[in-house]
Structure 1
């Protein structure tokens, strides 16, 4: 497993792409409302990325993916394809996943949106998913095994009675959309590579309200829960620093620090 440790010039470019990705999530929030068409949301994001940010929506055309962003609603775990026939409904929970390519480097992030008034179980699912991600930021520093990330997410999720999707994981990111290392969201004792300063990767736990089993739909992209239970996901791009980590895709209103000192 070859992990590319980033140099300062690369980190500078990844920071720019990551900030742009977080800005798209901030921009689109006002459109995440009842009766909004999913294709409209996709088009707004596409136009913003191309015209305002002078960047590339990295999802578009990636391995044949047909849209510029992913929108995953309710029982869709990930890779939901926006279409003009689907509208946001009262009570939906929706994940919007944005990946930006700028100056040859990628930044990747996603978050959940609440559409109108949602059920308490849906709210709890999203809160636990976000909390499990945030807790990992307090553990990351050079010299610790990478599986501390999955262990932290698993411990928090188990307390809630929810389940972790195991088929999809976080990943290294930089000049490529997906690089080593894989970041599992559950504990695997064999995933014991040590974290190093200037590693960059995503953490993106996918947590299901019911069982962890998922199914791939006929479009070969959309992933749903097998038992039709709700699923939630939050994602950030992370830089390992000398003393902890930086959250490169942190949004302005997000109630977490940009930098964590864990020494």
Structure 2
């Protein structure tokens, strides 16, 4: 289909889907504590998405059964919510939420600590969030996709972490996954040139150990090859003449600091 360039008014319209997605992610994050199941988080998220006038973007997408992806510890992405998965003190959980409002998609993720986590896990969360913001900062007209990936990879590898290769960010619009793919690794000044009107999801998936992954038998869940923890942070970002604008925020939009 190629890259879909959005007009200023279309980007403005996408902010409502971004607001809903951001609010749901924040509120679900408040529920994260020992003893809670990932199915409880999922049911709460779906109810709030609908209450806010949206439709869950993930539910039924390619057959996915949940309204959120809930991925714990060594699980990288695409964890299916389940009553059997009970959060425990010291876990970390990546929660990925998406909402469709008026035909537009907002997509975002955050990795939360469950109670008190080890210093090693806390550092992984801190560095992965920094990776995301470094990627956002690089999403400027005239830069290239490789500049985003390079920015993410540089922060992650300086901390000694592995950058997932097989799963990447993507364009966002009236469908959740548009072109282009947005890798979290790469070389500066390479790849597609970024231009105003592009809307992309920047979503580093950073592993404490090896970058290598393994897909699980359910066809969805992806884990680290070595069993070490992984973190995942994501924002939907519009590239504008004035620089990157985060759409998945409750303020409607925000430029990175």
Alignment TM class, shorter chain as reference: over 0.9
Q: Partner of 1:246 in structure 2?
A: 245
Q: Partner of 1:76 in structure 2?
A: 75
Higher mean C-alpha deviation, range 115-124 or range 10-19: 10-19
Give the Cα separation in 2 of the matches to 1:90 and 1:140: 36
Deviations 1:77-107 (A, max 9, x none): 0000110111110000001100111111101
Equivalent residues of 1:203, 1:238 under 8 A apart: yes
Q: Partner of 1:3 in structure 2?
A: 3
Aligned residues: 256
Deviations 1:90-125 (A, max 9, x none): 000001100111111101000011111101110111
Equivalent residues of 1:75, 1:229 under 8 A apart: yes
Q: CA deviation at 1:260?
A: 4.7
Decide whether aligned partners of structure 1 residues 75 and 205 sit closer, same or farther in structure 2, where only a CA change above 3 A counts.
Answer: same
Map 1:192-211; keep pairs closer than 5 Å: 192-211=191-210
Equivalent residues of 1:26, 1:251 under 8 A apart: no
Q: Secondary structure at the match of 1:13?
A: helix
Decide whether aligned partners of structure 1 residues 63 and 188 sit closer, same or farther in structure 2, where only a CA change above 3 A counts.
Answer: farther
Q: Secondary structure at the match of 2:97?
A: strand
Equivalent residues of 1:10, 1:174 under 8 A apart: no
Higher mean C-alpha deviation, range 185-194 or range 129-138: 185-194
Matched, 1:44 2:40: no
Higher mean C-alpha deviation, range 3-12 or range 119-128: 3-12
Give the Cα separation in 2 of the matches to 1:81 and 1:191: 35
Q: Secondary structure at the match of 2:15?
A: helix
Deviations 1:18-45 (A, max 9, x none): 1110000121122101101111111111
Q: Partner of 1:96 in structure 2?
A: 95
Superposition RMSD on alpha carbons, in Å? 1.6
Q: CA deviation at 1:225?
A: 0.6
Q: Partner of 2:16 in structure 1?
A: 16
Q: Partner of 1:125 in structure 2?
A: 124
Q: Partner of 1:67 in structure 2?
A: 66
Q: CA deviation at 1:189?
A: 6.8
Decide whether aligned partners of structure 1 residues 37 and 157 sit closer, same or farther in structure 2, where only a CA change above 3 A counts.
Answer: same
Deviations 1:10-69 (A, max 9, x none): 21221110111000012112210110111111111111112x112110110000001111
TM-score, normalised relative to structure 1: 0.93
What are the ranges of 5 or more consecutive residues in structure 2 without an aligned counterpart? none
Give the Cα separation in 2 of the matches to 1:188 and 1:177: 26
